[in-house]
Amino acid sequence: MQDGSLIKDESVAKLKPSDFMYEHERIVFNSMKELESAGEPIDVTTVVSRLNETDKLNKVDGVHYITGLLIDVTSTAHLPLYAEKLISYTKHNVKMRIVEDVRIGKADPSKLEKLTDVERGQDYDMSDTGNAQLLAQLHSDNMRFNHTAKEWLVWNGQYWGKDRKMQRYIYSEDVSQYRQRQAMSIKDSAEKMKMFSFGVHSGDKGKMDSMLAVASTLSEFATTSDDW
């Protein structure tokens, strides 16, 4: 947005409003696309003006949010990666919604036939390694482990940052919940209880730490400072 060329970047051209997680991000993106369609320059001033004209400035927390983007995103060097992450995250969420809707009876089981075994969550054994692989299925777009700095990074929708709020444990809890839901689809009572119990214990702090230790070595998560 700094030089007006951001929206014309080939990576950004692939994006759709639905690829953004938050409403305020979709509103800003739509405003930029509208300016582009009208042949107008795209910068902080024109975006703020466009949001004002459409009575949407308050919906994105005002001018401070727009100007803050220049502070948060100081370079477009990683723009292709950001765009691909957004698209991948959207596709992943669609697949996960299909799996969940089938499990709770809101969707026809035949929809699962279009997903791979990995996307159904069926290929992971009941172990720290299996849980780490499942974590990669669920959140590989949201987490990285920097082996240079020995720390977890999380994706906030705009850039990678240190996991100061321990978001990795929230993502790890998703593995526990997924295992428990997975148990509900098992017909054999003994196997169902085994999976459910494993899912519950997977939410223990110690088990999550063990899973995260394994996850940090997986190619889906492992990175170095040179990559960022």
pLDDT (0 to 100) of residue 210: 96
Q: Which residue is listed with tokens 């759709």?
A: 16
Instruction: Give the CA angle between residues 169, 171, 175 to the nearest 5°.
Output: 105
Cα–Cα distance, 130 to 138 (Å, whole number): 12
- Alpha carbon 130 to its chain centroid, in Å, reads 20
At residue 59, the 3 state secondary structure works out as helix
Tell me the average pLDDT of the chain: 76
Mean pLDDT of all residues in 207-215: 96
Least confident of 51-60, 127-136, 196-205: 51-60
Pairing relationship of beta strands 143-146 and 160-162 according to DSSP bridges: unpaired
- Greatest CA separation for the chain: 65
Cα–Cα distance, 168 to 221 (Å, whole number): 12
Cα–Cα distance, 188 to 194 (Å, whole number): 10
Bridge partners of 197, per DSSP, are none
pLDDT (0 to 100) of residue 76: 47
User: Looking at the whole model, is its pTM more than 0.85?
Assistant: no
pLDDT (0 to 100) of residue 94: 56
Least confident of 98-102, 113-117, 208-212: 113-117
Q: Does domain 6-72 bear CATH number 1.10.760.10?
A: no
Cα–Cα distance, 15 to 6 (Å, whole number): 12
pLDDT (0 to 100) of residue 37: 84
Percentage of the chain modeled with pLDDT above 90: 25
**Higher per-residue confidence, 46 vs 99:** 46
pLDDT tens digit sequence for 112-160: 555 544 444 555 789 999 999 999 988 888 899 999 999 999 988 778 8
- Domain segments of the chain as ranges: 6-72, 79-227
- Alpha carbon 90 to its chain centroid, in Å, reads 8
Q: Are 154 and 168 in contact (CB under 8 A)?
A: yes
pLDDT over 50 at 54, yes or no: yes
Cα–Cα distance, 177 to 194 (Å, whole number): 14
